[in-house]
Amino acid sequence: MSNTPTDRRYAKSHEWLKDEGDGSFTIGITDHAQGLLGDLVFVDLPEVGTAVEAGNDCAVVESVKAASDVYSPVTGEVIAVNEALDGAPETINDDAFGNGWMFKVKVADAGESDSLLDAAGYDALIAEEE
Amino acid sequence: MIYEHSRVGRRAMAQAPSEKVDMAGIPDAMLRTSQPPLPEVSEMQAVRHFTRLSQKNFSIDTQFYPLGSCTMKYNPRVCNTLASLPGMLSRHPLAPDTHSQGFMACLYELQDILKTATGMHAVSLTPAAGAQGEFAGVGMIRAYHDDRGDKERSEILVPDAAHGTNPASAVMCGYKAREIPTGSDGDIDIEALKSALGPQTAGIMLTNPSTVGVFEQRIKGIAELVHAAGGLLYYDGANLNAILGKVRPGDMGFDVIHMNLHKTFSTPHGGGGPGAGPVGVSKRLEPYLPIPMVDFDGNDYRWLTERDRPDSIGRLSAFAGNAGVLIRAYIYARLLGREGMHRVSEYSTLNANYLLKRLMETGFDAAYPERRASHEFILTLKKQAKELGVNTMDFAKRLLDYGVHAPTTYFPLLVPECLLVEPTETEAKEDLDRFVEIMRTIKQEAESQPDMVKQAPHTMPVRRLDDVRAARELDLAWKPGD
């Protein structure tokens, strides 16, 4: 049974994106992604004020197995980062869709996220990759 | 740790320096005011401590070591013995050319041997390791484009299966690394390559056979595409064992190659150095080779320096790289000869394919079952992880209990639950068969008593380490009293 939240959208590179309704989006990696990476030991977040471009890497998550880039699914400016992850990267393992959020982006074009996957589309992508 | 045996005032007088060291001339500000925290132990304690450590060593001298992408093979002792002759070992790096003719003759001939073996136009031996060879290689690509005024090229293409050093070297030389995906057959996705190529392409870095253990079949076509876009081809020589004497990177269309002499040419690998990463180039890159190189005019050998090679990318270390590693490589190559080099690739490939076939018969899944292996191959333990909850790391740890070093795990990253196995050319059939039997046993254990496998190793001096906690709570600066 899928536990992919239906209140947000998903990128093929395994980030989730939640519309905060004020022109900003909260971004993190999916539960599936943290499962593949295994226990995280380090998270490198962008700085507040950084301009990010859709599809470009802007953060890094590192596990004992691998370091992996995190790509921003939208274009805009980073307005907040989850500083609680500093020193507690396991939060992403425990709660990828909630307390494990990574950063918030203020977007210029709110319609940009429409092209991303919905929960059903993302579940289909995972099924296909497996 | 040796510090744990330390007691104040304990000494090994026989080992102490016999004379007081003259400190005159060292500025006061640079002198210590307190004693350094050195262990204070007796000679017997030191001997026992380090002998015990050496007995715990899991090494190629005692165990099968099929560590993929690393080539942990047997390296003939005689290469080391000859490279350690006093004339080699005691030569001062600043000795004049006239006092170093024998040593330089070895290096000159090694340049020639590597040139012939790889099909390149010229070779410089000086890079001190694989990563430095890559840095030199990409540096030469940069120098070539810059020299032609072709300064808009900003990208180096790197397959997603590449060694992590490839994108790092590209970035170190001021390029942006752009990733090219691998197709389901293990070869590069040609359509993705075509769309990535353009006037911004400086070059592409390839390992062939690749890190997924298969020979890139369309290499000629890839070379044509990259050259047509104005880019150059870089060959990562990490997997040279598989093709030595059979097919040459120069003939495949590569412009620059680095070779890991510490993998393929008789220096034990994996000890953290020293290494040697000579670079070979096609004709158009020849002016940029790093210095020094050795030249021969028919009578005398001499070093080529800045004066002879003004367009060189320069020096990478104070002298000519790691001389001892180069001499071992020279002796190894001379011992093998041309025919022996053929056999290196034949046996390394035969051993890998034999092992792969037998493991598949035993019920393991190959990542690329339709492809012939090169000198290494990939199993994916996806099925075992999913059905039994026993993953690649658990298999790897359990192998230790059976006296086998684990193969490479979780690399390359694109294959899930990946086990990269490289038996090398120096293993006997009996040892390969034993490995198959051990893998069969562990597979049965994973089915009947998965928890036991998940807690392995059981017989090693230390049990399963908490690598997550070790990485999260870094503690690297131990001092007495902690």
Q: What pLDDT shows up at residue A1?
A: 45
In chain B, domain spans? 78-336, 344-469
Instruction: Give the H/E segment covering residue B342.
Output: helix B323-361
Residue A62: closest C-alpha in chain B: B471
- A chain contacts of residue B471, beta-carbon cutoff 8 Å: 41-42, 64
**B9: phi > 0 → left, psi -120 to 50 → alpha, else beta; which?**
left
Under an 8 A CB cutoff, do B471 and A66 touch?
no
Q: How near does any CA of chain B get to the CA of A23, in Å?
A: 31
- What is the structure's pLDDT at B478? 67
CA nearest neighbour of B79 among B324, B337, B423: B324
Phi, psi of B384 (to 5 degrees): -60, -40
Q: Under CATH, what is the fold of the domain A11-109?
A: OB fold (Dihydrolipoamide Acetyltransferase, E2P) (2.40.50)
Number of H helices, E strands in chain B: 16, 13
Q: Does residue B225 sit in helix, strand or coil?
A: helix
CA distance B258 to chain A (A): 26
pLDDT of residue B271: 63
Q: What is the pLDDT along chain B (482 residues), one digit of tens a residue?
A: 888 888 998 988 877 777 777 888 899 999 999 888 888 999 999 999 999 999 988 888 899 999 988 888 999 999 999 999 999 999 999 999 999 999 999 999 999 999 999 999 999 999 999 999 999 999 999 999 999 999 999 999 999 888 889 999 999 999 999 999 998 888 999 999 999 999 999 999 999 898 888 888 899 999 999 999 999 999 999 889 899 989 999 999 999 999 999 989 998 876 667 899 999 999 999 999 999 999 999 999 999 999 999 999 999 988 989 999 999 999 999 999 999 999 999 999 999 999 999 999 999 999 999 889 999 999 999 999 999 999 999 999 999 999 999 999 988 878 889 999 999 999 999 999 999 999 999 999 999 999 999 999 999 988 998 888 888 888 777 666 65
What is the nearest CA distance from B394 to chain A, expressed in angstroms?
Answer: 13
Residue type for position B76: P
- Total Cβ atoms within 10 A of residue B246: 13
Q: What does the pLDDT read at residue B12?
A: 84
Contacts A–B by Cβ distance under 8 A: 14
CATH superfamily of B344-469: Aspartate Aminotransferase, domain 1 (3.90.1150.10)
In order, the DSSP letters of B266-281 are SS--SSS------EEE
Q: Which residues contact B149 (CB under 8 A, 6 or more apart)?
A: none
In terms of Cα–Cα distance, which of B304, B262, B265, B261 is closest to B286?
A: B304
Across the interface, whether the CB atoms of B471 and A90 are under 8 A apart is answered no
- Facing residue for A64 by CB, picked from B413, B416, B467: B467
HSE toward the beta carbon, residue B69, CA cutoff 13 A: 23
A39: chain B residues, CB-CB within 8 Å: 468
Output the pLDDT for position B482.
Answer: 54
Q: Residue B420: in which H helix or E strand, if any?
A: strand B418-421
Distance CA(B145)–CA(B157), nearest Å, equals 16
The closest of B79, B81, B104 to B91, measured between CA atoms, is B104
Structural contact between residues B65 and B59, judged by C-beta atoms closer than 8 angstroms: yes
**Residue numbers of chain A with a pLDDT score lower than 50:** 1
Of B413, B416, B468, the CB nearest to A41: B468
Give residue B468's pLDDT: 85
What whole-number distance in Å separates Cα of residue B244 and Cα of residue B426?
Answer: 15
The contact set of A with B (CB < 8 A) is 36, 39, 41-42, 64-66, 89-90
- Quickly list H helices, chain A: 31-37, 90-94, 119-129
CB contact under 8 A, A64 and B416: no
Q: What is the CATH number of domain B78-336?
A: 3.40.640.10
- 8 Å CB contact of A66 and B416: no
Residue of chain B with shortest Cα separation from A86:
B472
- SS3 label, residue B95: coil
* Nearest-by-Cβ selection for A64 from B413, B416, B471: B471
Which residues of chain B does A66 touch, with a Cβ-Cβ cutoff of 8 Å?
A: 410, 413
Do the chains contact at A66 and B410, CB–CB below 8 Å?
yes
Task: Tell me the DSSP string of B346-376.
Answer: HHHHHHHHHHHHHHHHTTPEESSTTSPP-S-
